[in-house]
A and B are shown apart, each in its own frame.
Chain A
């Protein structure tokens, strides 16, 4: 039977061990990075960095360990739909929670001024 080069008699793509090990090392490295960055004062960017690193780690797991890189479009649509729906839930909920304290400024189109200012 086959060895490290990985030929399967099924029709599924066989991922080389080197790829798995590489992804593993990257994940460990990113974990160390996110932990280390937390000890550095970046102000509000700490959160951005932590989330960005988490997203990259997730992508590595999804694409390589979960084989999505070699999967059909249907799988990708399903995953994207899941995250998009989560985004809908968070965004629209926050649209209420964060805007309750907003004051209504004068009349007409100038009502939009605080809205626009808050978004910038």
Chain B
């Protein structure tokens, strides 16, 4: 029998006694690692935009924005308002969840005015005639330290002080 190298235990290192399952643990963990990008393909971690359509008697509102995001991502929120009746002074009011931990890079076209409505972002869009459309593009960036699980992002469409539509959705932001 040739001399066995120091620190080598033949039962353990050659016959792999007690190590039979190690390879399966390794394969299991590797499968978990590989599962992450597979899950990501199904938009679990964002950032594919979702479309939400609301229709009311006075107007319809189409919101196009991702509801799953990650720190640092740039994304667009698109608000497409179609007036079914004349809207004298349209206001798009966004709940604080839209701005919390976000950089708002641009709003196009610029609203007539911006104000705070009980802590909400109130964007005055002006007159939208019956049958006309107004598309508001907002470009955001998620601040890298922003983490959220089911944060409310509510949107209100008002005509002056009259509420036309309300929509609430949740956003999840992964670290």
Q: Do A and B bind each other?
A: no
